[in-house]
Amino acid sequence: MELHDSSLWRFLLVNVIYERCLSVGVAAMDAQHKTLVAMINKLIRNATATTQSATIQEVFMEMKDYMAMHFHAEEELMTAHNYPQLGEQIALHRRFSDKIIRFCIEWAYHNEHLPDDMLTYLREWLVHHILEEDKKYGAFFHEHGVQ
């Protein structure tokens, strides 16, 4: 089975990677990341639905709002503790949000299936975001008494 096989990815995202590897060590952020993983998995599970399906539109709306809340929570925590890479994080968060809005505009009003490149982008972005960017703040926050 290829690493990028979608069923393997789904299994890893839901069952293994999150529990064992994706924890950034800050409980509130772990809980939010877990919700984001669940939303992206819901899209993956419904990949054959059209973008006009109620489920897909619901998940997109939920994801857009939840992502904004999550980024805001991270940025607030970073600001409160003078996290040195705050600027970088803000730039990454904005870039991702813009990309999602572009995906929505491109696909949401067309009666088409969710494109593979969007699903790939979402899951790879999420894993990259947590494993590479957010993992960096775990140790920093621990030093500042945030668990």
Joined together, the tokens standing for residue 140 give 């920093």
Measured from the CB atom, is 107 or 141 closer to Fe ion? 141
The Cα–Cα gap between 8 and 44 comes to 12
Q: Minimum Å distance from CB 129 to Fe ion?
A: 6
Between 56 and 92, name the residue whose CB sits nearer to Fe ion: 92
Using CB positions, name the residue nearest to Fe ion.
Answer: 134
Q: Which amino acid is at 76?
A: E
What is the footprint of Fe ion within residues 84-143 (CB under 5 A)?
134
With beta carbons less than 8 A apart as the criterion, state whether 3 and 124 touch: no
- Total site size for Fe ion, rule CB under 5 A: 1
End-to-end CA distance of the chain: 37
State in angstroms the smallest separation of the CB of 52 from Fe ion: 30
Closer residue to Fe ion, CB minimum distance, 63 or 134: 134
Residue 48 in 3-state DSSP?
A: coil
How many H-runs (helices) and E-runs (strands) does the chain carry?
A: 7, 0
Decide whether 107 or 134 has the Cβ nearer to Fe ion.
134
Minimum Å distance from CB 109 to Fe ion? 29
Cα–Cα distance measured from residue 47 to residue 45, given in angstroms and rounded to the nearest whole number: 6
At closest approach, how far in Å is the CB of 94 from Fe ion?
14
Phi, psi angle pair for 4, to nearest 5° = -90, 5
Q: Which residues bind Fe ion (CB under 5 A)?
A: 134
